[in-house]
Amino acid sequence: MPSARLRRTSGAQPQKQPGMNDTGNCTYEDESQLQDLAMKVYISILLVLGIVFNALALWVFCCRMRKKWMETVIYMTNLAVADFCLLCVLPLMLYSLKYSRQEDTVLCQISQSIYLVNSYMSISIIAMIAVDRYVAIRFPMLAKRLRSPGCSAIICAVLWVLVIISIASRLAWQVKDGGFCFSNENIYGSKTFIFSILGFFIPLIILTFCSIQVIVSLVRKKKTDAQEKKVIQKAIWIISANLLIFLVCFLPIHVALNIRRIVEPRTCSSITMWKNVIFITSRLSNANCCLDAICYYFVAKEFQEASAKSIFALPRSYKLQDSTQASVA
């Protein structure tokens, strides 16, 4: 879908007082055919790869690994569900944004609500996987008492409920304030900032802290042989890659949204620039759905090997076998 470009309408316009927001004279026009084609190709590739990868991941988790549903497998299954649902609703949301323009529509509100629920659910689960990994590695004895498949399932259910309630509240508040859809200029208010803090920046802090602590623990661990050193290096690489993917995909859009709220652009050119920035960074965040699915392979192959061999320096009687194999994922 093309991003929007604004232009000033011709003809006499009423005088505006100094400092007044000069957005009323701007109308939309389409971007160039090249930009439109590039975005359509990107979205098509994203949808095909993302839906195929996540559907395959769900099939593996639910059919091939159903007897090994340990803690992290449950988290990754919920993550795959969230990513899959987000990709399925993405075309509908982009279609509604293209034709809703400045006003909200029912289609836009419904599709964007589903999109936001699954987007923030993905963020929340990624943070929870990091917490689960941190507890398992830094506090293995405590993890033996606290971690269980049932507990992970309850945590995921609670997260779904909390995210759905928060997005429903955001919808109600923003519709009351004048607009909920991304195309509406009224969405850049204090409530958007609050939801950004709760839905992204707090999980970001949790993910960063847990990932760094786990990496430090693995680096400090004494390696008894070359194979063990290789396994731990792979584990460190995957944790670092997961953190980097999260930052690259989700940080730009949330930074852009909050800067946009602060600067309050008043000219057609500045509004155009910010609409394009937010559109591009939003599509960048969607790439996380594909990258998550690619990471599943490495998690299943390398981290099960890593945790089985040497990440936990516990006596055999304290090792949790399958549970610990999944904990570093």
What pLDDT is attached to residue 26?
Answer: 60
Residue 324 scores a pLDDT above 50: no
- Do the strands 26-30 and 4-8 form a parallel or antiparallel pair, or are they unpaired? antiparallel
pLDDT tens digit string along 90-143?
888 888 777 666 667 778 888 888 999 999 999 999 999 999 989 988 888 888
Torsion sign across C-alpha atoms 48, 50, 53, 59? negative
Residue 257 has pLDDT above 50, yes or no: yes
Are 86 and 165 within 8 A, CB to CB?
no
Tell me which residue range forms the domain holding 313: 30-327
Asked whether 296 and 50 are in contact (CB, 8 A), the reply is no
Average pLDDT taken over every residue of the chain: 76
Q: Which of 263, 286, 285 is nearest to 273 (CA)?
A: 263
* CATH at 236: 1.20.1070.10
317, burial (CB in 10 Å: exposed 0-12, middle 13-18, buried 19+): exposed
User: How many structural domains are present in the chain?
Assistant: 1
What is the reported pLDDT for 85?
Answer: 93
Q: Is residue 203 part of a domain?
A: yes
pLDDT at residue 313 greater than cutoff 80 = no
Tell whether the torsion through CA atoms of 197, 270, 3 and 246 is positive or negative.
negative
Tracing tokens 């990107």 back to the chain, one arrives at 42
Q: What pLDDT shows up at residue 99?
A: 67
Looking at residue 59, its pLDDT comes to 83
Helices (H), 178-221: 190-196, 202-220
**293, 225 in Cβ contact below 8 A?**
no
Phi-psi category of residue 101: left, alpha or beta, with phi > 0 → left and psi -120 to 50 → alpha: left
pLDDT of amino acid 102: 61
Residue 27 in this model has a pLDDT that exceeds 70: no
Domain membership flag for residue 56: yes
Are 303 and 282 spatial neighbours (Cβ–Cβ below 8 Å)? no
pLDDT band at 3 (very low <50, low <70, confident <90, very high): very low
How does residue 247 score in pLDDT terms, banded at 50, 70 and 90? very high
Task: Assess whether pLDDT exceeds 90 at residue 228.
Answer: no
Query: Residue 86: inside a domain, yes or no?
Result: yes
Among the ranges given (13-17, 162-166, 250-254, 276-280), the one the predictor scored with the smallest mean pLDDT: 13-17
Between CA 121 and CA 127 the distance in angstroms is 10
For residue 118, tell me if it sits in a domain: yes
Percent of the chain whose pLDDT exceeds 70: 72
CA pair distance 41, 164, nearest whole angstrom: 31
CB 298 within 8 A of CB 238: yes
Among 34, 15, 33, residue whose Cα is nearest residue 25: 15
Instruction: Give percent of the chain above pLDDT 90.
Output: 26
Separation of alpha carbons 113 and 6, rounded Å? 26
